[in-house]
Amino acid sequence: MRECEIFSSLRVPCGSYIVIRLDGRNFSQLSRKLNLKKPYDLEFVQNLLQAAFQLFQEFSPSLIYTFSDEINLLLEDIPFAGRLEKINSVFASFLSGSLTKEIIKTNKFIKGLDESKPISFDSRIIPLSEEGVIQYFQERQKEAWRNCLNGYAYWTTRKDHPKNEAIDLLHKKQSKELHDILFEKGINMAHLPTWQRRGVGIYKKKVQVKGQNPMTGEKVLSDRMKIFIDWELPIFDNQFFSGQSLL
């Protein structure tokens, strides 16, 4: 029946940069089961980042960028000979298993995890040019900002209004109007944590480590590439990608 596996030969296009985007499935339901804080739950974000860190260790992408329930990987070396079915299935299942393991390890959300459906992610592969890579991550970072603004506006309004009223009050509100609503409640978006406004990045960064010359015994400093979780991402631009040698 091998001839029926009609998609098994599909491969990513040659000569392209490849981004894999993993999106959480039914995470709004999961967040209710786990009783997550709104609009952001730092402990759950840390669980998700640890799962993403393990993904980085396993597959060595150039960059992982994450916000909300979304994880984007920029690949330099394409695994599994570029087979789409293999890449999509393995990356999504690896992240699902890692996040479940992290939640169990921390134990805080374990009761809600027992009551929820199994954690799952969908996966899609996006081939891009070098210019397209920068544009793609800029657009995802803008989406992170929109999520942050809308999330704070909604959950701040929910403190004084039931769900349907809050939705009606915020319906078709422009960005400036949402800022004004939050400012009246004492929330200045510019003062929120960077990771909430811009997302979090994981990439390798050059660091200096202390060592010893085995021949002379002299203490020396040497450069090493270390996986770095960046909670203070700048706004993505050409300088960021060239400065971190991501392209």
CA distances (Å), origin 69, targets 27, 72, 182, 216: 7, 10, 24, 51
Higher pLDDT, residue 123 or 3: 123
In the chain, what's the furthest Cα-to-Cα distance?
A: 74
Identify the weakest region by mean pLDDT among 44-53, 145-154, 156-165, 209-218. Answer: 209-218
Average pLDDT over residues 46-67: 97
Cβ neighbours for 167, distance < 8 A, ≥ 6 positions apart? 154
Q: What is the pLDDT of residue 173?
A: 93
Higher pLDDT: 167 or 6? It is 167
Query: Which stretch, 7-21, 74-88, 218-232, has highest mean pLDDT?
Result: 74-88
* pLDDT tens digits, 99-115: 999 999 887 888 888 88
Read off the pLDDT of residues 72-85 as tens digits, 9 standing for 90 and up: 999 988 999 999 99
Q: Which residues contact 89 (CB under 8 A, 6 or more apart)?
A: 123
Domains and CATH numbers, the chain: 7-131 (3.30.70.3000)
According to the model, what pLDDT value does residue 59 have?
Answer: 96
| Residue whose pair of structure tokens reads 């995470």 in the numeric block | 27
Report pLDDT for 225. Answer: 85
Query: CA-CA distances (angstroms) from residue 19 to 31, 90, 92?
Result: 26, 15, 13
For the CA atoms of 225, 231, 235, 240, what is the dihedral angle to 10 degrees? 0
> Given this model, what pLDDT does residue 1 score?
74
E strands, 76-169, where?
121-128
* pLDDT tens per residue across span 190-218: 999 999 999 999 999 987 777 777 777 67
Arithmetic mean of pLDDT, 222-238:
92
Per-residue pLDDT averaged across 109-131, rounded? 91
Strands 219-230, 200-212: pairing is antiparallel
CA distances from 238 to 11, 84, 135, 146 (A): 29, 29, 9, 22
Give dist(CA 221, CA 204) in Å, integer. Answer: 18
> Which of 152, 239, 143, 142 is CA-nearest to residue 191?
152
Mean pLDDT computed over 170-178: 94
What are the tokens at 39?
């609009």
Look at residue 234 in the predicted model and tell me its pLDDT: 97
Asked if pLDDT for residue 71 goes beyond 70, the answer is yes
